[in-house]
Amino acid sequence: MQQVQDPLGESRAAVRGSSRVPGSSGAASLEFRGVSKRYGSATGSGGAVNDLSFVVPAGAICVLVGPSGCGKTTSLKMVNRLIEPSSGQILIDGVDVGTEDVTALRRRIGYVIQQVGLFPHLTVGRNVAVVPALVGWSGERQRARTRELLSMVGLDPDRYADRYPAQLSGGERQRVGVARALAADPLLMLMDEPFAAVDPIVRERLQDEFLRLQRELAKTILFVTHDVDEAIKMGDLIAVLAEGGRLAQFGPPDEILAHPASDFVARFVGQDRGLKRLSLRTVADLRVEPIGEREGLPAFPPATTLRDALSILLAADTRGGVVLGNEGKPRGLVTVDAIASALADDAGGAART
Amino acid sequence: MNGEPLVRWDWLFAHLGPIGDRVGQHLYLATIAVGIGFGISFVLAALSIRRRRLFPLITIVATGLYAIPSFAMFAALVAVTGITTLTAEIPLVLYTLVLFIPNIVAGFDAVPADVLEAADGLGYTAGERWWRVELPLAVPLVVAGLRLATVSTIGLVTVSAILGDSFGGLGYYILDGYQRHFTTEILVGGLLSIGLAALADFGCVLLQRFLTPWAAARAAVR
């Protein structure tokens, strides 16, 4: 169904990989090769996985998305062997995880879950340091690393390191969960609905901050969600799973939105997939027209998504809006037609042969 | 009754030494019973957690033992083990089981599933997970069981006075006072036993605060 070459080519992942933070050991590639998990009929087919094959290049975020019971979480847990596959192999940098010592394997893989699972009896600082402590780092190195990570996820170490998890908000707990998963500088992170338990506003902020962090860290990440919008936002690659744990489609978000491989995928990503594609692009990507009279026209900073720009243009009922350049100077005029044709251009270029 | 005062302070002050010895014996008998009872209960609780079907069975047996009147159990054991410390300890130990086991099981059951999953996923071995995650998180309910068992055992030690003068701790004074119609002795034995139980309970609370500073942080938030 899908080829197993690097489907990203010269994509975001490669760009991210070039700007690593010092002290980061980088990322590993991840491959699913014919992976299946069958459960006895007594437990039903929920969570089963059927002949899953795909490759995530080092430094990319791959999102597993699909309806409940499609085997997303099962697939994720087979990577760190919380669940053992019935057949097939999972390879990290070409090495079959089934051949490794399971404890050592898990300590090299970051793990973030929806309910966070912070240890209530340990302070925030000691929660973050659990894996370094398990692998025998010195106390001083643990403390230094903890402070670094807490700052990285936006928590002041002086204020937070000695608190207990019960004293944190939901969003703060998730940040600590992410810091804990990053503690021993894993080559690979597994994130199982990591932002699903917080309210939408906090979720959006956590997503944005995590993407910013990932631009520096360039970890390979396998990310599970049931939320298509989150998949599109977070993923360099998306694996859409159908019921029964089949891979329905695998590719970059724009390709899945532009060319759903089946009715199932089209229905799953939604009628508004055209609008969702617009949210993947910003006005900075647009070809603009010369500005004539700009009196009363809305202005768009470069990071405005085409979806937001379109929405604003429709609401304002104007012929166009002014796209601003990096220094806030007007760069040109954007119209509803230009936004619509931006998708058409891309669709032509990305069409399958 | 016969014009006696309720408390004969002169008797009390004349017997401070022997009373101290009885307090020591009382604590000795209670500590051994609670210690051994805790050990046996821990093993049976661990078994109940692994083999869930055994839990109701173990609970029924422990409850059944608790239903045996203490007088009857001490008396019946004399025929088997004679007038020995063992005879005093066996009932005391058996009575702790029903207080310890359900609390220990509940303590381990109360460890949240997401915490266990995180521990596994982060690479704790089974042993590390037990020592560093499950046991510490079970402590609040285990200590709740310890408080019950300690208070109950300190009260019950007095009944072992029926085995003779070398047993019973402060219960010796209660029995002796009853037989001699001497209220001072009954009050000394009874009140000091209650005082010991209260002190021991307070000690357990301090132990819990020391072992679980995080629980206080949690309580402060709610």
Residue B220 inside a domain? The answer is no
Question: What residues 237-266 of chain A have any CB closer than 8 A to a CB of chain B?
Answer: none
In a domain? residue B13: yes
* C-beta atoms of A111 and B121 within 8 A: yes
Amino acid at position A35, single letter:
V
The total number of structural domains that make up chain B: 1
Whether B79 contacts chain A with CB within 8 A: no
From the number of C-beta atoms within 10 Å of its C-beta (0-12, 13-18, 19+), residue A177 rates as: buried
Share of chain B above pLDDT 90, in %: 84
Write the pLDDT tens digit of every residue in B113-155.
999 999 999 999 999 999 999 999 999 999 999 999 999 999 9
B214 to A120: CB separation less than 8 angstroms, yes or no: yes
Q: Is B133 on the interface with A (CB under 8 A)?
A: yes
Whether B222 has a pLDDT exceeding 60, the answer reads: no
- Which of B25-34, B142-151, B178-187 shows the lowest mean pLDDT across its residues? B178-187
Report if residue B206 sits inside a domain.
Answer: yes
For the stretch B156-177, pLDDT in tens is 999 999 998 889 999 999 999 9
Q: How far is A15 from chain B (nearest CA, A)?
A: 29
* B160 domain residue, yes or no: yes
Please name which of B117, B220, B125 lies closest in space to residue A118, comparing C-alpha atoms: B117
What is the rounded average pLDDT of the residues B178-196?
93
Whether A118 and chain B come into contact, CB under 8 Å, resolves to yes
Q: B61 lies in a domain?
A: yes
Q: Is the pLDDT of residue B41 over 60?
A: yes
| CATH code for the domain of B165 | 1.10.3720.10
| Other CB atoms within 10 A of residue B16 CB | 9
Q: Are the beta carbons of A166 and B218 separated by less than 8 Å?
A: yes
Q: Which residues of chain A have pLDDT under 50?
A: 1-7, 9-23, 347-353
- Chains A and B: how many Cβ contacts under 8 Å? 75
- The per-residue pLDDT for A351 is 37
Distance of CA B167 to the CA centre of its chain: 17
Q: Which two tokens stand for residue B90?
A: 């066996």
Residue of A nearest to B213 (CA): A121
Determine, yes or no, domain membership for B98: yes
> What is the pLDDT, as a whole number, of residue B103?
97
Q: Is residue B75 part of a domain?
A: yes
pLDDT at position A352 is: 35
DSSP annotation string for A18-76: TTPPTT------EEEEEEEE---GGG-STT-EEEEEEEE-TT-EEEEE-STTSSHHHHH
Percent of chain B with pLDDT over 70: 97
Contact of B163 with B13, CB cutoff 8 Å: no
Does the pTM exceed 0.90?
A: no
Angle in degrees, 0-180, between the axes of helices A170-182 and A139-152, rounded to the nearest 10: 130
* Residues A166, B118: C-beta atoms closer than 8 Å: no
Give, for A181, the enclosing helix (H) or strand (E): helix A170-182
Mean pLDDT of B95-110: 96
Closest C-alpha to A268, from A302, A293, A242:
A242
**Could you tell me the residue range of the domain that residue B195 belongs to?**
9-215
Q: Chain B contact for A160, CB < 8 A? A: no
Chain B contact for A80 (CB, 8 A cutoff): yes
| A235 within 8 A of A247, measured Cβ to Cβ | no
Q: Confirm or reject contact between B218 and chain A (CB < 8 A).
A: yes
Residue B126 touches partner A, C-beta closer than 8 Å: no
Q: Tell me the average pLDDT of chain B.
A: 93
